[in-house]
Structure 1
Amino acid sequence: MRKYFTWIFAKPYLGRIILYFVLVCLATVFSIASILSASNFLNVLFSQELSNTVVANPSLLDEFLSAFYSKIIAYGRVNALYIFGVLIFIIYFLKDVFTYLASFVIASVRNKVVRNIRNKLFQKYISLPLSYLSTHRKGDLISRLSNDVIEYDENVLKSIMSLVGGLITVSLYLTALFYIDYTLTFTVLIVFPIVALLSSFISRTLRQSSKHLQQKSANIISIIEQTISGLRIIKAHTAIELMNERFIHFNSSYTRLRNSIYRRVDLASPISEFLGNSMLIGLLLFGSSKVLSHGSISAELFIIYLVLFTLIIKPAKDIPTSFFNIKKGKASIDRIVDILEIKNQIIEPKEPIAFPKIEKGIIFNNVSFSYKEDLVLKNINLIFEKGKTTAIVGSSGSGKSTLIDLIPKLYEPTLGEILFDDINSKSIHSKAIRDNIAFVTQETILFNDSIFNNITFGSNSYSLEQVKKAAEIANAHPFIEKLPEGYNTIIGDRGSTLSGGERQRISIARAVLKNADILILDEATSALDTENERLVQEAISKITKDKTSIIIAHRLSTITNADKIIVLDKGEIKEEGTHHELIQQNGIYTKLCSMQEL
């Protein structure tokens, strides 16, 4: 994919790209025509005898142009000047029109390619396995979606268009120069291999340095993101100076590397300009000698030749610069493709089975799971029975969250199988499973949007009355009504304008509205004060009725009425039963209860 990355995303716009190159050709042809027309203008202006010769070496084209110009010259010197002036103006106008149309067409193509890359990256991000997201910095991932895509656009897309456009322009100008005087043009071409060799030498290490620069840029974004997120802790621990020093040190290193790369890139332009000026001086000496010796080129035609040559210098200079930028931008391609080539660990079935109407429950058969090498869950055998509440308890790191993450196929079991009644979860599409599960997590995820949109998140089919009813069940309606805009109130990033308890009740209202048969509650009350815990617990009691409910509990007082309690320890089920049964066993659960004075 790396080798053909640009082609893959540019292929849908091949027609427009071809049109762009055609327009570039037309703009260049009209540019050359306008300058060649000026030859006749100068001839009329300075020559004692009017001539209709266009170039030094007459051809069929020259004969046609000569016949055309002879008709104009027939009107006399003054009238011919006016006619040639108008003609040159029209040709210049057409050149500018085609130049604008070329830019208009290619700008749309570039923007659409960048849009599609961003869409592809974002789609990949939201489908990435959680294990990848948990082991990579958010700042780095954000940088690939923003900085690297912009870098790719500026250094690769723009440079490819500039490179191909430059090659077309140079080729057509060289053709015109050969047409005017081939001996002078051969002199021009001698220095081109030297430019190519110097360009190759400068750009040899540019790609690797650029990749390092992109990584450092991602690290800066990551540091900023972590600093903003942890600002409360930073201030509380009076670590502002420490964080400043770290950032300044890292930023200085980033700046030094950036300077090194830009100096190398910027070296391309002076070298090309120096060589171009050297050629121009040589050309002036050689061409002037031919004019003075009454050779194959006239004075006015030599002036036109010099004008064409000076116009060829910029596109010729842009060619090595474009090569440098493409080399530099390949680092961005590498970082983008690194993400796009990540294989999703969740393999969806080719012919998925519909999610069944649960009659028995969710069954774990000898399920084991590992993130890397060591097993986090070992030989789990249990049934989450339909319509009953099952609680999972255990110390931190015992595997509680991992176990419930297997149910909605956020991960696949390393060994064993998970059944919904008698159907293996691998035979059901993950979307179908998740459509039938409602989540309430310890870390409430809310978005910078209205309360209404946060409660209806995932669907646009709910009415305001349905949302209000769900909020009432979740004990959220009273505080929502007191807000300035009610259900239309914007609650800030991650619900920052609400208290912890209010955020949790919004999350519960979302689960109520979904009305799924399976409900997963992951330590939904662990971070709440007593009053908010009471309100949230009341809401949970309402929504778990007649649902297949799975609760991860930190506060054991909240699950004493559960139909079944599973005790996990180091990834294994150690105890299982009701609250009273487990107390009588006097095992791990009893110790946990005594620690909480239950």
Structure 2
Amino acid sequence: MDKNLIKLIPYTKPYKSNIVWNIIYNILYALFSTISMLTLFPVLEVLFGKNKAVYKEPVYKGIGNIKDYVTELLYYRISEFTKENSIQYALLFVVGLVIITFLFKNLFNYLASYHIMHLKNGVLKDLRKSMYDKIVELPISYYSEKRKGDVMARMLGDVNEVQNSFFSILELVVKEPLTIIFALVTMFVISTKLTLFVLVFMPVAGLIISRVAKNLRAKSLQAQQESGFLISIVDESLGGLKVIKSYNAEPNFKNKFNQSVTRLLNLSNSIGTKNNLATPLSEFLGITTIATLLFYGGNLVLVDHSLEGSSFIVYLTLAFNILTPAKAISKASYAVKNGLAAAERVFDVLEVENEITSKENAVLKDSFNSEIAIKNINFKYEKEAVLKDFSIQIKKGQTVALVGQSGSGKSTIANLLTRFYDVQDGSISIDGVDIKDINLESLRSLMGLVTQDSILFNDSIKANVSLGKQDATDEEIIEALKIANAYEFVKDLPNGIYTNIGDSGNKLSGGQKQRLSIARAVLKNPPIMILDEATSALDTESEKFVQLALENMMQNRTSIVIAHRLSTIQKADVIVVMKKGKIVEQGTHEELIALNGAYNKLVMLQSFE
């Protein structure tokens, strides 16, 4: 069994009853598919006047005698009808039998489909939930190497493909094979010679179909990867539309998109050609078998007289009855190959090991009491070290500013404190407890983060601000907005805090978005605040509003301020000057100016600017 099929089994366990009932109804469907064909036999016998007169009710003598018993019982019923009424009543009786058996066949087909529907939709929901849980839980580092569009394609397209394709297996192993088996057993009973003749053709047909399906899984995998790349291009194009237009880069992006869509077209056509060939090829091979049967069976009826004409017609209908499930099996086997490729991509994500998790007996910490100690940290994202033997102590209530050129490692400190990334060498501790030993959720509950990019969601102001405190009242939200200098513009909006701010908050200005981010941190009310270049993207007027909001927020809190604009951190208790991952100076603003070193040079450069 394929490993991806095995991995899918746990997702089917909540729906065991649906699987059981589906199998039961599929067995009954397969049985009544054959019985419905057999009921044509007495119709033909009555029509051709070949029915045997039986006036004594037969006695059942066990399973070995079942065929003769059923046949005799049927003739007995027909004889009873014709004895008391005209032949039309006998015809009506056998036609009624046909209708009843076809009714049961289709009823069981519906019930089997009903249960497979609940199974498919349930597994789809659970797979999507598992995928989303995994996507949200995976560390930030995972997404620095992956395209968002590819992850989205796996979450949406590939999971759908798994749902659509994999459950064809229940038809592959139960419904269609049983329909064929029941039909073949009955065909053997009618004529062993003819059935052996049919069985010679089946392996040949199977071999031809399997040759056509070769490489289908590999091509499906390529197509799904290309689909992920295509979604990435669209995602990046929408996110960077202003840049694309301002640099007249539309032709470049159109060309990239066209190349991808052409590759996807060629792969889809190749896969589609093989998929589309499944049904006509299996049908042609089936009809070839039937045509040969007509010739060979016709000889048995007309020349050898070893087979009755009515029996031969019923035999042909049974042979035709095999064609439909045979086509379904070939089509389902193609679909399963697509599903295997999609499942491989889905489980690639689900099986990624999340290295940044809480330990089994992690410490639950709900307060910050004394200090944050960062000791002898060495850290690199790839090959080049970003931090080198970095150590600082941050006392409770202090404001510590990190300054330096781009690439000096300032933002990396924020990433390590929040455990977006884990320390490779050295340690970070809060109140003497290593942050790796603290429960991840409780660690992050101690911290508020305001970044350079105001990350807002397409929802109301209330929903965005209350992200860290879901049960906040309107009054608490308004108070947080006031502290963040944001209520002055929020109160003038059409629906106040219930106003939708659009995709990424694009209905607001940069300064307004940043003040909402600060209000979100204020409402969370954490003891430790991390400000990662929170004002660097703002104009001077907006910066004044935001700076005042930050000062309001930082009161009575421990703050780590990563700053590009030095004017914003002159009141800090300690200013740490960084260069290429190392501390080159530290002290207050006045102390560092007096040193006339790296910090003073930065101040002079910004004053000159």
Q: Which amino acid aligns with 1:68?
A: L
| Residue in structure 2 matched with residue 34 of structure 1 by the alignment | 36
Q: 1:89 aligns with which of 84, 93, 99?
A: 99
Structure-1 separation of matches of 2:170 and 2:585: 65
| Structure 2: distance between partners of 1:513 and 1:357 | 16
**Equivalent in 400, 416, 427 of residue 417 of structure 1:** 427
Report the CA distance between 1:147 and its aligned residue.
1.4
Q: Which residue identity does 2:263 align to in structure 1? A: S
Matched, 1:281 2:291: yes
Change (3 A) 1:251 1:6: same
Inter-partner Cα distance in structure 2 for 1:562 and 1:64: 100
2:307 counterpart letter in structure 1:
I
Give the C-alpha shift of residue 51 in structure 1.
Answer: 5.1
For residues 242-286 of structure 1, give each alpha carbon's deviation from its aligned partner in whole angstroms, at most 9, with x where no partner exists.
Answer: 322332233222212221222223233332222111110111112
Displacement of 1:396 in angstroms is 0.8
Find out whether 1:65 has 2:65 as its counterpart: no
Residue 552 of structure 1 deviates from its aligned partner by 0.8
- Give distance in 2, aligned partners of 1:125 and 1:284: 59
Q: Percent of aligned pairs with the same residue? A: 38
Counterpart position of 1:74 = 80
Q: Deviation string for 1:189-213 (max 9, x for gaps)?
A: 1112112222332233222222111
Code of the residue aligned with 2:77 in structure 1: it is K
- The one-letter amino acid paired with 1:550 is I
3-state secondary structure, aligned to 1:353 = coil
Q: Which piece of structure 1 moves more, 158-167 or 528-537?
A: 158-167
> What residue in structure 2 maps to residue 115 of structure 1?
125
Distance 2:79 2:413 in 1: 92
Distance in 1, matches of 2:212 and 2:244, equals 44
TM-score by length of 1: 0.95
CA contact (8 A) 1:160 1:322 kept: no
Output the CA distance in 1 between the equivalents of 2:171 and 2:502. 42
For 1:525, the aligned partner's letter is T
Alpha-carbon distance in structure 2 between the residues aligned to 1:161 and 1:574: 70
Distance in 1 between residues matched to 2:100 and 2:262, nearest whole Å: 54
**Residues in 2 aligned to 1:180 and 1:84: alpha-carbon distance in whole angstroms:** 20
Is the Cα–Cα contact under 8 Å of residues 163 and 318 in structure 1 kept in the other structure? no
Pairwise mapping of residues 433-452 of structure 1 onto structure 2 (< 5 A)? 433-452=443-462
Deviation at 1:394, TM superposition (A): 1.2
How do residues 547-566 of structure 1 correspond to structure 2 at under 5 angstroms? 547-566=557-576
SS of 1:549 mapped into structure 2: strand
**Separation (CA, whole Å) in 2 of partners of 1:36 and 1:270:** 27
Counterpart of 2:79 in structure 1: which amino acid? I
Match for residue 587 of structure 2?
577
Asked if 2 retains the 8 angstrom alpha-carbon contact of 1:160 and 1:326, the reply is no
- Segment of structure 1 superposing worse, 439-448 or 12-21: 12-21
* Cα deviations by residue, 1:352-373 (Å, 9 ceiling, x for unpaired): 1121632221111212212233
- What per-residue deviation string (whole Å, max 9, x for no partner) do you get for residues 500-553 of structure 1? 111111111111111111111111111111221111111111110110111111
Query: Where does 1:342-421 land on structure 2 (aligned, <5 Å)?
Result: 342-355=352-365, 357-421=367-431
The equivalent position to 1:249 in structure 2, one of 226, 240, 259, is 259
- CA deviation string 1:314-348 (max 9, x = no partner): 21122233222222332212211221221112142
Q: Is the 8 A contact 1:26 1:98 kept in 2?
A: yes
Taking structure 2 as the reference length, the TM-score comes to 0.94
**Structure 1 residues 464-475: aligned runs within 5 Å:** 464-475=474-485
Where do 1:172-191 residues align within 5 Å?
172-191=182-201
Letter in 2 for 1:148: D
User: Which one of the candidate residues 11, 14, 17 is aligned to 2:16?
Assistant: 14
The 1-side partners of 2:189 and 2:474 are apart by: 76
* Secondary structure at the counterpart of residue 25 of structure 1: helix
Letter matched to residue 570 of structure 2: T
The residue number in structure 2 matching 1:530 is 540
How big is the shift at 1:585? 1.7
Report the Cα offset of residue 311 of structure 1: 1.5
One-letter amino acid of the counterpart of residue 61, structure 1 = I
Structure 2 CA distance for aligned equivalents of residues 51 and 411 of structure 1: 88
Which one-letter code corresponds to 1:585 in the other structure? L
Residue 377 of structure 2 aligns to a residue in which SS?
A: strand
Q: Alignment length, in residue pairs?
A: 595
Structure 1 residue runs of 5 or longer lacking an equivalent are none
**What RMSD, in angstroms, separates the aligned Cα atoms of the two structures?**
2.0
Taking a change above 3 Å as real, the CA distance of residues 103 and 3 of structure 1, as seen in their structure-2 partners, is closer
- 1:136 CA drift (Å): 1.4
